[in-house]
Amino acid sequence: MRIDIGEWQVRSFYLEDAEALAKYANNRNVWLNLRDAHPLPYRLEHAVSWLRMATRQWPEVHFAIASADEAIGYIGLGLQSDVFYRSAEIGYWLGEPFWGRGIATAALQALTEYAFFQFNLIRLYAYVNVTNPASVRVLEKAGYEREGRLRKNVIKDGQVVDQFLYAMVKD
């Protein structure tokens, strides 16, 4: 899969992305807003292991946010099941050198459109820590609406943190 978003793209991951993935994912500022399944330090062996899983998946739900030269971030879907089967959680991160350029917003808009069409979804949602106003802006600029505040919802870096729930529903 490949979707061009200006000079950037949302595309399938390749095993050759391991070095770039390790370079940008091994960052405390990135890690602070991710789940603890994302280790810190994030080493090359973590990237290789994760890419082996991601490149074998079906359906494909994990994608690189990339420049022409390398992967610079991640965006993906957590397809739901049972009574939630027409919903998916969306998540993303971007390497810190690329923050503030509108790349994450463009990637989120592109994947949102793709997800609604490809998977016949009616709802996409994301959790965002209240301590991450940049991600709140990304979601809002991409058209997601805040549905609520989940008080004391996560513990990250030893701190109890509230989260916002954002969603977009297909009309």
CATH code at 55? 3.40.630.30
Cβ partners under 8 Å of residue 136, min gap 6: 128, 146, 164, 166
CA separation for the pair 71, 65 (Å, rounded) = 6
When divided into structural domains, the chain yields a total of 1
What pLDDT is recorded for position 51? Answer: 95
User: Considering the domain boundaries, does residue 40 fall inside one?
Assistant: yes
Whether 54 is covered by a domain: the verdict is yes
Residue 7 lies in a domain: yes
**Amino acid at position 20, single letter:** A
Inside any domain, residue 134: no
Question: pTM of the full predicted structure?
Answer: 0.92
Q: Is the residue at 158 inside a domain?
A: no
Residue type, 119: F
Over residues 81-112, the pLDDT tens digits come to 999 899 999 999 999 999 999 999 999 999 99
What is the span of the domain harbouring residue 38? 2-122
